[in-house]
Structure 1
Amino acid sequence: MAAAVPSPQPLGIGDTLFPHLGNPGYDVLAYDISFTYHGDNTKPLDAVTRIDARVTERLERVNLDFTHGTVRAVRVNGLPAEFASSGEDLVIEPAEPVDEGAPLSISVAHTSDPSGPEAAGGWVRTADGLAMANQADAAHRVFPGNDHPADKAYFTFRITAPKELTAVANGRRVARATLGENRTWLYRTAQPMATELAQVSIGRSTVVERTGPHGLPLRDVVPTADAQLLEPWLERTPGHLEWMERQVGRYPFETYGLLLADAHTGFALETQTLSLFERSMFTNGDFPKWYIDSVMVHELAHHWFGNSVSPRTWSDLWLNEGHATWYEALYAEETAKQPLEQRMRNAYTASDGWRAAGGPPAAPKPPAPGQKISLFRPVVYDGSALVLYALRQEIGKDAFQRLERRWVTEHAHGTASTADFVALASEVAGRDLSTFLRGWLYGEKTPAMPGHPDWRSKAPAKTPAKTPAEARTKALTTSPAKAPKEAMDAAVKR
């Protein structure tokens, strides 16, 4: 008698923070995703996701990350395939096993459901349509795929919606066609992208175009009624780009812009080539103008640190957020007289408490059950920028700037790990920095700060750390000029 085929099971690639995220056995090369939006942002969209991949080990089954949608049909290499759901995986059984090295083409007809708690991520319902916020593990609430930043791929989006609406997605628009009452928009990325950075916006929007450094095409997506109101903020982006290019080199993508959504998210997000912000952040006066300006730089900086150079595992998140926070703080010092050293001293004072609550920067504690975004704690923001400050103190400003430029150049459009950063820092410095950085990245206690032997970190607080939602409430009920830095961070950026 032949052995029974095991029942479908969710798999993963071994990420310590998200054990079932990602899938073994294949490397996705490209996604081609079609969405049909029927004008009601509470109802499921019809969708087809096509995946082209390369098989890295013989597969009798193929697992995709997917939940919160109905699968109607699956084809593998042109043939109908059996499928079943297990946990948050779609488990596919091809008609024939697929051998190592062979091409793999998967087509999934499904729905994409914007209903449910928005705190879980995925689709975000706006006042007039939809946008996406998929970080950290919510892209598979929108479309099936290999939902881990270690497997980046090229994306094509085909969005059909009522013709009075505007659809925008990552990358550049390459086609648009109207048929009857509907219009279809086609967008394509020129560089690979992690699934968590996918963005599709549908609504009554205006696309404001301008030119950035080196002729870079810029496009902002704003509620049509607010285009003039928001222009003073939108026109700041070319200057932000010029400033970042002076720090680390040329912008790494084919376009950039802001998506200002009329929605309640509690954060901004660096979705690739089109950063997501709440419209209200720019209109309701809750935060100082210099702070909003620096947060715009934070999300832009992610396009070098996090989008182009993506984390190998989610424990490498500090490389994303620490760097974005670093350039945010540096920009605030240079343009708004907000002292970097004082901010770092404040972070040092709180660092032991942050490490106790959330783990050290490169070994964060898992997110709270049912609260995946609780991974985005103070230790990965100012607590990780503090690591970069300590490194600059140790190796000097010139070596630090060389390190930063080499990091984003040598790992451009790929993935990199904490070990890679330590190795490159050591090479640039001309000496082994592994012992020095081990304490800063993995220590339970914050090491002594080079050049500041008088700095002290307080004992951990007795009260538990606030969740992002709790911190946001505190920020928005406090005078903006006096709002605690930690609360403002949690309120407005990822």
Structure 2
Amino acid sequence: MRPRGWRRPAALVLAAALVLGACGGDDGADGPTTTAPATTEEATTTTDEDAPPGALPTGLGDPLYPDLGAPGLDVQHYDVALEVDEELAASGTVTLTVEATEDLVQVPVDARSLAVEAVTLDGEEVDFALEEPELVVRPDAPIAAGTTFDLAVTYVDDPVIAPEADRLGPGWIIAEDGSYSYTLNEPEATRDWLPSLDHPSDKATWRFAITPPPGTIAVANGVPTAQPADGEDGTWVWELDQPMATYLAQVLVGDWELLERPSDDGIRRIDALLADEVGDHDGLIASTDPQLSYLTSVLGPYPFAAYGVAVVDQQIGLAIEQQTRSLFSADAASPGVGVHELGHQWFGDSVTPAAWSDIWLAESFATYCEWLWAEEDGGPTTGEQAEEALAQRDEDGGPPTDDPTVDTLFGFNVYEGGAVVVEALRREMGDEAFFTLLRTWLADNAGTSVTTEDFTALASEVAGRDLDAFFAAWLSAEDLPDALPA
């Protein structure tokens, strides 16, 4: 992701031809291996005085967003069935296929500001209570660990009209002119339009069945598996067989046009543009193929069946790596930002941070993909970009790359300042070991959520020596060394 108001060293602006700024697995229904950010004892506790004895906390205890997710639950699959009305507001039913990893006397689901009408558990109606920001479901009998069950929630969403200036991810957004809608979730707004376990440690496969208003279409992550006949109205079905974190979910509704292009690498190219903007973003679309070819050569196979871009007609300087189709505002739809979001398909989408404090595992490496492409495309070397960013980081200060706050989650030290750490690691390990590390990391962890400790342990293993002192000096320090390793 590239957030609003981001800045970068001047040389990097020229290299990426960008002056406005933006954000820039294993298949199967059994779901991915995930690493929770906290133990049950560390997680937040329920404030519901009526919670039954033995109830687990209603949040995982993420260091930055402690109320997200829930212990004892592992979502395997989301089946999202939405009806979108003429005003582009959504209602419908989401069915979560969940495995109980502990004995449960209640099931908490992240659901903020939603009107929940009914809940069923394995087809039977069940008691529930809305206790912001949770939907708490109380089954008639305890659910034993190891049980898999279907939890269906029927609800109505109250959408946001255009992004709020002080919020990065408002959730389900309706354009100011009311002509289209889209989702913008990172880091914790999927729960504002979709009852879910809205934490990056809990990934699942997805199916979207969306019925848009007459004369419009619906777009979501993955590939289309059913759609109305040409010129007819009806339901669009999109499916994603690789696990995805909730914050990466994409739904677009309105007068969109799908542009599917042939490819010679087996990866479907499915772009989505507003019908009156087709042809306006050819540079972004044309850059995808060479960037995809290059990153595949560096990082290993592309992890999904499809890739594309979508552009909203807004001037908010933002882009986000929604899985299989990155989303851009019009003023951020450039090749320089595009390669950042494409890099995220590996770093962040396929291999996802287990907690929001681990976000450098996504953003620092996606920024480094920008640097690699800039050098490949005839711009400054990664070393030149790192030296400039190191000087900027020394001037600005800020928290360590591996310990952001909520306010600095999308700040310089996670992006360019974090890419400095990646370049320093490359020099510390040498090129052969460094790129072996990246490819091993991505191949071994595809479809999972991972921690910083997972990465540093693998780095030491690949290097054949203990790198703890390096990571203490570069990754976990506020004041970095004055110069990059020789």
Q: When the two structures are superposed, what TM-score results if normalisation uses the length of structure 2?
A: 0.84
Bigger helix fraction: 1
How many residue pairs get matched? 430
Number of the residue aligned with 2:13: none
Deviation at 1:177, TM superposition (A): 3.4
Number of the residue aligned with 2:69: 22
Deviation at 1:54, TM superposition (A): 0.6
Map 1:29-44; keep pairs closer than 5 Å: 29-41=76-88, 44=89
Task: Kindly indicate whether residue 158 of structure 2 is the aligned counterpart of residue 113 of structure 1.
Answer: yes
Q: What CA distance in whole angstroms lies between the structure 2 residues aligned with 1:307 and 1:180? A: 34
Task: Kindly indicate whether residue 431 of structure 2 is the aligned counterpart of residue 401 of structure 1.
Answer: no
RMSD over aligned Cα atoms: 2.1
Task: Kindly indicate whether residue 157 of structure 2 is the aligned counterpart of residue 123 of structure 1.
Answer: no
The answer (yes or no) to whether the contact 1:213–1:241 under 8 Å persists in 2 is no
CA shift in 2, pair 1:350/1:417, >3 Å:
same
Which residue of 418, 433, 437 corresponds with 1:384? 418
Q: What CA distance in whole angstroms lies between the structure 2 residues aligned with 1:295 and 1:24? A: 36
Specify the code of the residue in structure 1 equivalent to 2:320.
L
Mean alpha-carbon deviation: is it higher for 407-416 or for 224-233? 224-233
The 4+ residue runs of structure 1 with deviation greater than 6 A are 7-10, 178-181
Q: What CA distance in whole angstroms lies between the structure 1 residues aligned with 2:396 and 2:366? A: 18
Map 1:455-474; keep pairs closer than 5 Å: none
Number of the residue aligned with 1:253: 304
Map 1:60-75; keep pairs closer than 5 Å: 60-75=105-120
The answer (yes or no) to whether the contact 2:220–2:238 under 8 Å persists in 1 is yes
Deviation at 1:58, TM superposition (A): 1.2
Q: What CA distance in whole angstroms lies between the structure 2 residues aligned with 1:216 and 1:432? A: 38
Which residue of 202, 217, 226 corresponds with 1:151? 202
CA shift in 2, pair 1:178/1:83, >3 Å:
farther
Number of the residue aligned with 1:195: 246
Specify the code of the residue in structure 1 equivalent to 2:86.
G
Map 1:85-484; keep pairs closer than 5 Å: 85-115=130-160, 118=164, 119=167, 120-126=169-175, 127=177, 128-177=179-228, 182-282=233-333, 292-352=334-394, 354-356=396-398, 359-365=399-405, 367-368=406-407, 375-451=409-485
Deviations 1:112-137 (A, max 9, x none): 22136643521122352111111111
Q: When the two structures are superposed, what TM-score results if normalisation uses the length of structure 1?
A: 0.83
CA shift in 2, pair 1:303/1:179, >3 Å:
closer
The answer (yes or no) to whether the contact 1:80–1:94 under 8 Å persists in 2 is no
Specify the code of the residue in structure 2 equivalent to 1:396.
G
Q: Unpaired segments of 5 or more residues in structure 2?
A: 1-48
CA shift in 2, pair 1:178/1:107, >3 Å:
farther
Specify the code of the residue in structure 1 equivalent to 2:172.
W
Q: What CA distance in whole angstroms lies between the structure 2 residues aligned with 1:6 and 1:174? A: 42
CA shift in 2, pair 1:314/1:141, >3 Å:
same
- SS of 1:442's equivalent in the other structure is coil
Deviation at 1:352, TM superposition (A): 3.8
Deviation at 1:12, TM superposition (A): 1.1
- SS of 1:214's equivalent in the other structure is coil
Where relative contact order (Cα < 8 A, 6+ residues apart) is larger, the structure is: 2
Q: Unpaired segments of 5 or more residues in structure 1?
A: 283-291, 369-373, 453-494
Q: What CA distance in whole angstroms lies between the structure 2 residues aligned with 1:440 and 1:85? A: 44
